[in-house]
Amino acid sequence: MMHRVVFLGPPGAGKGTQAAEIARELGIPHLSTGDLLRAAVAARTPLGLEADGHMRAGQLVPDDLVLRILHDRLAEPDARTGYLLDGFPRNLAQAEALGKFAEVDRVVSFDISPDLLVRRLSERRVCSKCQSVYNLSTKPPKVPDRCDRDGTPLVQRPDDRPEAVTTRLKVYAEQTAPLLDFYQKRHLLRPIDASGTPDEVATRLRRALA
Ligand code: AP5
Ligand code: MG
């Protein structure tokens, strides 16, 4: 069965955590526009330099940049047999654009309370080298402040600072949440409860994708 899946959910809902695992299980690439943009920022490409300020502020990166990066990534051979889009589309213009160049079979939305999001984001730490994601209380590294895989110091994402988190939550409510209705009307939406442990969420997710 072909899997062309979108993960829709607020910042900190656990999209990236679940996507890494389920994409491996389904044998499809995990395409996170946030990860692709952060890689462009780190590589200091022209696109990355333009995206950086928007991301630090917690605002969306302009649609034309994001569409370009995603369109190019979807053209790679591994995306021929399916894909998991994490963090794209993020507004109605992107959803309409996506509909013109790629199919979507299912949209999983992550339901979770704002309190839990703020907590998860404030406790998130990432490896500055391999980008592995940790959480100070729910997924601590074995050695404090060091990545389990390569021992590199962990850092906080610039947009996980409280001011940027407030903006990201507002941007989600105003620009991204309308997509719930957009996909509901197209009978593609499968909401899941994103609270609880990662294993509990993974079980709900497998059911939603079965
Ligand atoms: P992006 O990278 O997509 O960030 P986001 O949507 O804000 O989501 P996050 O990555 O913060 O959260 P997540 O749901 O992946 O949670 P995670 O699994 O890490 O986008 C960043 C920026 O890029 C945007 O603000 C924008 O500027 C730009 N951008 C990206 N896409 C764009 C687009 N399409 N258009 C325009 N601009 C775009 O988990 C969070 C924490 O919680 C971790 O510490 C984790 O360990 C922990 N955790 C996860 N699950 C659980 C659980 N079940 N229980 C306890 N802890 C958990
Ligand atoms: Mg993520």
Residue 52 Cα to ligand 1 midpoint, Å, equals 16
Confidence of residue 114 (pLDDT cuts 50, 70, 90): very high
The 3-class secondary structure across 134-174, one letter per residue, is EECCCECCCCCCECCCCCCEEECCHHHCHHHHHHHHHHHHH
Minimal-distance CA residue to ligand 1 atom 21: 34
Residue 187 Cα to ligand 2 midpoint, Å, equals 25
Instruction: For residue 57, give the nearest of 178, 167, 136, 148 by alpha carbon.
Output: 167
Confidence of residue 2 (pLDDT cuts 50, 70, 90): confident
DSSP 9: -
Cα 159 to Cα 172: distance, rounded to the nearest angstrom: 14
Q: What are phi and psi of 154, to 5 degrees?
A: -85, 150
Residue given tokens 């959803």 in the structure block:
95
List the catalytic residues: 15, 90, 124, 157, 168
What six digits make up the tokens of 170?
């507002």
Whole-prediction pTM value?
0.97
pLDDT attached to residue 51: 98
Residues 55-106 pLDDT 10s: 999 999 999 999 999 999 999 999 999 999 999 999 999 999 999 999 999 9
pLDDT mean across residues, the chain: 97
Q: What mean pLDDT comes out for the span 2-26? A: 96
Q: What mean pLDDT comes out for the span 1-28? A: 96
As a whole-number percent, the residues of the chain with pLDDT over 90 amount to 99
Size (the chain), residues: 210
Residue 126 Cα to ligand 2 midpoint, Å, equals 11
pLDDT attached to residue 1: 75
What six digits make up the tokens of 130?
């391999």
pLDDT attached to residue 190: 98
User: CB within 6 Å of ligand 1 — which residues?
Assistant: 9, 11-17, 32-34, 37, 54-55, 58-61, 66, 87-88, 90, 94, 120, 123-124, 133, 135, 138-139, 159, 168, 197-198, 201
Cα 107 to Cα 177: distance, rounded to the nearest angstrom: 13
